[in-house]
Amino acid sequence: MADELLSVEDLHVEFERGDSKVYAVNGASFSVGPGETLGIVGESGSGKSVSVLSVMGLLRGSGQVTGGTAMFMGKDLLKLRRRQLEDIRGRDIGMIFQDPMSSLNPTMRIGDQIMEGMLSHQYTSRKGAFNRTLQLLDEVGIPEGKARFRSYPHEFSGGMRQRVMIAMAVACEPQLLIADEPTTALDVTVQTQILVLLRQLQLKGRMGIILITHDFGVATNVCDRIIVMYAGKVMESAPLVDFLARPAHPYTVGLKGSVIEVGTKAHQLRAIPGMATALTEPPRACPFAERCQLAADRCLEELPPLRPLGLGHYVACHRAEEVLAAAGTTVGAQVGGPVGGQVGGQVGGQVAQGVTARA
């Protein structure tokens, strides 16, 4: 693990909600190396964004890191002072988010915004920053950089704004880029353009990328490793090859069976019954057990640890071996189960739980 860029171990994050607490991240561990793309997938409330935002010191509201370490360049990011973290953010670690408009200053020319980060981090001189901005605009696919330098964000399309965000994020040549749903707000034809661009930038500087996404199509087409989060825990962590061919957690299998693509037939769809709920106490059993068709007594009593299953393949399920053994046979049907009318009944009852702590 010595060559990892960022290594997060046993991260815990809690939110205050009135008199109670919401346990948003419950012992998550993950790491990313140079030139590697780590995908973090999961549904709303799974803790996928909260995990990464908390490491960056960007938790909002009542969120608090209550445990864990996040080693980056020999330092634990969770122990740094705010000023030290600000030095690292934007210089060594770049970030892009889903909605570029909310991250751009509407009253500032985009060229000045790109330059600002380089100047505040003393990356280069004013003249150097200007020249690098023109170079960056060209690299991210914004033509006529000199003219566009003077444009304001509202004069750009959503895709072009995301390109500006990317230029800002990589201006200081960060070693790590965090991309939180970077293409979710974009049209499909533009989405691929942005993913190709990220890949090109990565190849140049061996930048590590953490890509947070709910979109399996995106994750499986650009990531080297994928971790699946649920209830603030890592359910499965696998190299892409295993994620595709040997998913070992019933939740992973269920999510893959829920993906609707061109050509998907109704009878192939496997809805996962029920829905994720916010945890108001730390999990003591498998948090997915209540929705899992394979759940046994043990799953309701004992928290499954994240354990190795193959080379680089980890899973937090007591029955992972059975999931693997059943693969290719009837596992889909067992795990997802055909649904029909019975979903409704299971979904009811949970009114007023799965609120807050949106990832």
Partner 1 sequence: MPDEPILKVDGVSKHFKVGGRTLRAVERVSFDLGAGETLGIVGESGSGKSTLGRLVLRLLEADEGRVVFQGEDLAKLASNELRSRRRDMQIIFQDPLASLNPRMTVGAAIEDAMVVQKIGRSASERRHRTEGLLERVGLQPSAVDAYPFELSGGQQQRVGIARALSLGPKLVVCDEPLSALDVSVQVQIIQLLQELQRELGITYLFISHNLGVVQLISDTVVVLYLGEVVEQAGADELFERPQHPYTQALMRSVLKVPEELEKRAPLVALAGEMPSPLSPPSGCPYHPRCPLAMDRCKEEKPLLRTVSEGHMAACHKAGEAVTMGSAPAVLVTPSELAAS
Using the rule CB under 8 A, is 333 a contact of partner 1? no
Residue 215 interacts with partner 1 (CB under 8 A): yes or no: yes
CA distances from 51 to 47, 73, 98, 281, 324 (A): 6, 19, 16, 18, 28
When binding is defined by CB under 8 A, the residue of 73, 203, 296, 300 that contacts partner 1 is 203
For partner 1, which stretch binds (CB under 8 A), given 62-70, 83-91, 131-139, 240-248?
240-248
Helix, strand counts (H, E) of the chain: 15, 12
Q: Which of 20, 131, 221, 280 is the binder for partner 1 (CB under 8 A)?
A: 221
Residue of 80, 101, 259, 326 interacting with partner 1 (CB under 8 A) = 259
Q: Output the 3-class SS for 35-91.
A: CCEEEEECCCCCCHHHHHHHHCCCCCCCCEEEEEEEEECCEEHHHCCHHHHHHHECC
Which residue type sits at 25? V
The torsion region of residue 350 among left (phi > 0), alpha (psi -120 to 50) and beta comes to alpha
Could you give the CA distance from residue 195 to residue 237 in angstroms, rounded to a whole number? 22
Candidates 96-104, 166-174, 202-210, 297-305 — which segment interacts with partner 1 by CB under 8 A? 202-210
Options 9-17, 174-182, 197-205, 327-335: segment touching partner 1 (CB under 8 A): 197-205
Is residue 247 involved in binding partner 1 (CB under 8 A)?
no
Window contacting partner 1 (CB under 8 A); options: 49-57, 120-128, 270-278, 303-311: 270-278
Q: Copy the structure tokens of residue 37.
A: 């793309």
Asked if 20 is part of the footprint of partner 1 (rule: CB under 8 A), the reply reads: no
Q: Cα dihedral angle (186, 188, 194, 198), rounded to 10 degrees?
A: 120
Q: Is 202 in the site for partner 1 (CB under 8 A)?
A: yes
Rg (CA), the chain: 21
202/237 with CB nearer partner 1: 202
Determine, following the binding rule CB under 8 A, whether residue 174 of this chain makes contact with partner 1. Answer: no
User: What phi, psi does 332 have (nearest 5°)?
Assistant: -55, -50
Contact status: 343 vs partner 1 (CB under 8 A): yes
What is the binding site for partner 1 (CB under 8 A)? 35-37, 43-44, 157-160, 187-193, 195-196, 199-200, 202-203, 206, 214-218, 220-222, 224, 240-241, 244-245, 254-256, 258-266, 269-272, 275-276, 339-341, 343-345, 347-352, 354-355
